[in-house]
Amino acid sequence: MPQPPPTDPPSDLPPDLSGDGAQTNLHSPQRWLIELRIAHADLDNLIDTASRVPGGDQLALQRLKKRKLLLRDQIARIEFELEPREPA
């Protein structure tokens, strides 16, 4: 079974993800968010395919599902950091 993509951000990703959106380089939070969404969709397809196999490896399927949840959490965290703050 193919390995899912890594979920760790690049080491040169800035710690402050609340940038002004002016970043257009390959390591911007927006770019990382797109890559995480693609990885999430790929895992979703892989899980769907693996769940159709009768007698498939249930442990591997559970690991894929857990990895997908971790990706979803990372996506939500980055989206929250990128949202503009509303004044109180």
Task: List, for residues 15-35, the tens digit of each pLDDT value.
Answer: 444 444 444 567 888 999 999
3-class state of residue 9 by DSSP: coil
- The span from the CA of 13 to the CA of 32, in Å, is 9
Provide the percentage of residues in the chain whose pLDDT is more than 90.
56
* Structure confidence by residue, pLDDT tens digits, 30-65: 999 999 999 999 999 999 999 999 998 999 999 999
- The span from the CA of 3 to the CA of 10, in Å, is 18
Instruction: Answer whether 0.85 is exceeded by the pTM.
Output: no
Answer yes or no: are the C-beta atoms of 81 and 36 closer than 8 Å: no
Which DSSP state fits 10? P
